[in-house]
Homo-oligomer: A and B are copies of this chain.
């Protein structure tokens, strides 16, 4: 996974505006703009991309524009709260269904807990309370008085002040802990393996669609165990589920490991995470799994009579992924024409675009399109019926085609009068350029559709993996570290080297200082043997026996 420093040193120092324009561009846009695709795109569209600005021109603004162009979500007038539109919500539904199946296969059951948390619950675990205090929406009243004002308009005034305010859950350890305390009496009641799909609220000062919103959707797993070892095993099991899901379903090859103490979940003894590298080479924390020790069981009173007849505190974990995954996949796979949705989680995996140039062949083209859709839906991809949409809207074909490119549907199929005669379909893959069209005998296509979707899925993963691996660099000196994370161009303040793999033996304060100086943090302390080696901390010069990942992050 990790490129050697010598092999990569050259490439990684080529910032987007260093060296020739071409190599800079292709290095920056590596995951989905290989030379071939780029050429094709240029031919097809005369170098104009559907999204403006491009990733290269302004990555953060490109992100906003992709979300708009792909019709995924939008800001609401409630500050920081988004509206998730059908195409974006469709992705979430697939994420939800497929992850849910993985949770169930590993023995978890879903339940549902209250949205509101009494302040006194939150106060029980001090570190947790302090960690979330500054971002809690507070409910103080339970009714409104309706009055007519002088103009006759209805005004609503808060009434019915609550004796104890509630917060809208920012996470549910405390309320679920109070519930588990009721459910657990004996070691026979353990383990308790529960998951909740829910909305949570963390008041964000600088919201960004999907990545950081005041309200977001997520799943939060909460488990209680008899022993410390079992709880740690659970935390690790879930990390594995998240890593596998990111890789096989989202086509995102994450790095995994433990958080440093500074970056742990408030109240956790250990936090594991999956970290994705996106196309501006920053990290996105895409999922976390926490070992909570006995902190919450002591605070909430989750006690049980053990095998020896004595009362003990349970060992708990919690873990979650959220709609942030959608932001991650946009940034990981999108190109200058829009989002590219990995087939496994695409709301529609195939769109059929009937081409109806003449009125007299229109019906037969529409019939053939619907018939093809029906046959494709009878095929399966990873145990699910293939999801096919026929776009029969009365719109210009080119307009429709570009809408679907921007939405990132994996395969587009055109059927016109001539295709019916030749019994062929014109197939375009979203992960290739818009003009890379194949004409395939219809029966062959139906027979091979699942393999073709898998090929798109694999290609996205391969590209993302190559990009990630090319942008992980072993760095051993403070100068090289500073240079790696220093933007080269004032117009592109975000663009820098990627993930630095460094020996580290610094203190929490050292880590904070690096964050202040460079906005760089330890993303994770990876587990694998390939990271274990004797060396010297680049920052303190102290001995170290493992490299850790440093990166800028969302």
Nearest CB of B to A318, in Å: 16
The answer to whether A76 and B165 have CB atoms under 8 Å apart is no
The A315-358 residues at the B interface (CB cut-off 8 A) are none
| Interface status of A89 (Cβ within 8 A of chain B) | yes
Give Cα distance in the complex from A119 to B147, angstroms. Answer: 13
Are the CB atoms of B156 and A133 closer together than 8 Å? yes
Interface string of A194-211 (1 = CB under 8 A from B): 100011010100000000
Interface string of A110-122 (1 = CB under 8 A from B): 1111111111001
B76 touches A114 (CB 8 A): yes
A532 is an interface residue with CB less than 8 A from chain B? no
Chain B residues with CB under 8 A of A215: 114-116
Within 8 A of B (CB), among A29-79: 74, 76-78
Contacts of A84 in B (CB 8 A): 111-112
Contact with B along A140-166 (1 / 0, CB 8 A): 111111100000011110101000011
Name the contact of A81 in the complex, choosing from B90, B114, B158 (C-beta under 8 A): B114
Interface string of A160-193 (1 = CB under 8 A from B): 1000011110000001001100100000000000
Q: Is the CB of B136 within 8 A of A175?
A: no
Residue A109, interface by CB 8 Å: yes
Name the B residues within 8 Å of A178 (CB-CB). Answer: 76-77
Residue in B76, B109, B142, B203 whose beta carbon sits within 8 Å of that of A138 in the complex = B142
Closest Cβ–Cβ distance, residue A244 to chain B (whole Å): 22
Query: Which of B122, B138, B144 touches A134 (beta carbons < 8 Å)?
Result: B144
The 4 nearest A-B residue pairs measured at CB: A81-B114, A86-B109, A138-B141, A84-B112
> Could you write out 30 A-B pairs with CB less than 8 Å apart?
A74-B182, A76-B113, A77-B118, A78-B114, A78-B116, A78-B118, A81-B114, A82-B114, A83-B179, A85-B111, A86-B194, A89-B109, A115-B168, A115-B199, A116-B215, A122-B156, A123-B154, A129-B156, A130-B154, A133-B145, A133-B156, A134-B144, A135-B143, A138-B142, A138-B144, A139-B139, A139-B168, A140-B141, A141-B165, A198-B199
